[in-house]
Amino acid sequence: MTGYNFSAGPQGTSVGRWNGQARETVVLSDNELLLLLTATDLSLAGDGVVTVLTPGAAESAGAALRVRLPGEKPVPVLAQATLDLAGGRLYATGSDFDPGAVVWINGVARPTTFEDTTRLSVALTMADLGGTVVVVNPGPGGGSSTTKTFLVWRVLLPLLVR
């Protein structure tokens, strides 16, 4: 872990904690320490919280860590949905996208192109005037991202007939 004001001096040694329980800790410097998690800590998928207690100081704020079992897919994080109207595509950008991820627009799964773990794209249709976008990673694990909205602005020009 990285941070600041870790101690391994005569006043005491900083101790890393996993979900409030002290774990074996090696202080490498004032800004870095190693925390040894147990096999039990890593045996169940889910979220854990790491804190550091330094003698003479308050316990640090918690840093959330997710434990994933082998083969388990992450929950995707959708940062934004952007439009390329010239190319007729919607781009979902974020993190933890799986190659099997699917973009849902307005509750309908759409054929999705996996570009990399941070970017997916789908073709827009003439019916796509806006709505909601969600990214879903398949199981095991996986799940749905938060929802983002998008709006397509169309400008209709008058048609002149002679």
What band does 52 get if pLDDT is binned at 50, 70 and 90?
A: very high
Q: Residue 162 pLDDT > 90, yes or no?
A: no
- Specify the range with the lowest mean pLDDT, choosing from 20-24, 43-47, 91-95: 43-47
Cis peptide, bond prior to residue 140, ω within 30 of zero: yes
What are 88-100's pLDDT values in tens digits? 899 999 999 999 9
Average predicted confidence (pLDDT) for the chain = 88
- pLDDT for 125 equals 86
